[in-house]
Amino acid sequence: MGWWKRTAEALATLLRKERVERELDDELAFHVEQEAAKLLRQGAEPEDARREALRRFGGLERTKEQVRDERGVRALEDLIQDVRYGLRTLAHNPGYTLVVLMTLGLGIGANTAIFSVVSGVLLDPLPYEDGEELVYLRQSVDAGDIAFSVLDIQDLREGTHAFEEMVEYHGMTFTLLGEGDPEEVATGVVSHNFFRALGTAPILGRDFSEADDDLGAEAVLVLSHGYWLRRFGGDPSVVGRTFEMNGKTHTVIGVLPPVPQFPADNDVYMPTSACPIRSSDGFRETRNARMMAVFGRMADGVEVETAAADVAAAAGRLRQTWPTDYPAERGHRVTTSRLKDELVHGARPTLLVLLGTAGFVLLIACANVANLALARMTRREQELAVRSAMGAGRG
């Protein structure tokens, strides 16, 4: 029988205690009478027969206690008695109660606060649609990480099959002109499929289309939700307005929802064709012109290990085709990891240390409360000894 079922039965018995006790008394009395009648038939005197029957049962009260123990009622009664005693003790000693509550409150509060942070960063999924399918690509040599070039990204897109989307990103700071004072804005320069890969749709207007990435396309912008509120007061008519940036007219085509931004907080986003550096001929045609980050969304049913092997194979082909640009002797490689792991990689050790520290604080708090309880119990040793000698409980 499961512990929960035994507990439920014990609780039901306790709630019907008077009735159960009467039934137990009746049942024991019946068995005693049957045993006494048996002894009478064997020639015993009535008084002797009843006394002998009771003796064979070992005492009615002891038998009752054994039945209660078997039903689990005794343990539940002891628990309720201990709780009542604890509450009574706390009520009669407000100073002691206050110290205990403050000590436990500090320990539990610290753990709750730290665990909330740890849960949000390490345990909760990314705030994007099917965030577990997002992966981060890292290009590196033995000396350290290196960014991706336009040609790197093109070759990886064409040479891999494990991805539904492969996205590029880099951050810039540009000056936005129009409707007020000039303002420097943090700008995310992204490929057209950036928001689609994240599963994020604008709340106003539209996001980038494939045509927006074409060289010579009209320059457009998508505003972050925070910048939209801060600069334009949440005015929906901002969609369609034009602003000057980098000597070009840019049209606002959309506003993002209030979701956490990746990989950095930006005021605005522009397609790759609108960035004067990214769209220049020299930058697009040079393998060593590297400044982009790359992440991707895996295709349905693809595991991260499969995606990593696919990317590694494509990187191997790059080393064979362009050994100077991708030097194997310098340890060139392209690795793949879950985006969640990449984002928390730097914070994980610190958060785990904080969580361990908070747990240690709770342990100290519990030890302090235990010492207080032990000190109180030491003062009651004589009282408890008297109670025990009289057969009474400690409550």
Which DSSP string do the residues of 286-313 spell out, in sequence order?
Answer: -TT-EEEEEEEEEPTT--HHHHHHHHHH
Whether 284 shows a pLDDT value over 90: the answer reads no
Whether 13 shows a pLDDT value over 60: the answer reads no
Cα(153)–Cα(166) distance, integer angstroms: 8
pTM of the predicted model as reported, rounded to 2 decimal places:
0.65
Per the prediction, the chain carries an average pLDDT of: 82
372 neighbors 99 (Cβ within 8 angstroms): yes
Whether 93 shows a pLDDT value over 90: the answer reads no
Higher pLDDT, 69 or 352: 352
Whether 345 shows a pLDDT value over 70: the answer reads no
Residues above pLDDT 70, as percent of the chain:
75
Among 18-22, 81-85, 202-206, the minimum mean pLDDT is found in 18-22
220 neighbors 271 (Cβ within 8 angstroms): yes
Whether 352 shows a pLDDT value over 90: the answer reads no
pLDDT of 97: 79
| Cβ atoms within 10 Å, residue 66 | 12
Alpha helices in the chain (DSSP H): 3-15, 17-41, 46-57, 60-71, 73-92, 94-118, 150-159, 194-198, 225-232, 281-284, 304-321, 339-344, 348-379, 381-389
The residues facing 169 across adjacent strands are 190, 293
Whether 238 shows a pLDDT value over 80: the answer reads yes
Place of tokens 């539904």: 164
3-class secondary-structure state, position 170: strand
**Which among 213, 170, 214 is positioned nearest to 189, based on CA atoms?**
170
227 neighbors 209 (Cβ within 8 angstroms): no
State the pLDDT confidence band at 373, using cuts at 50, 70 and 90: confident
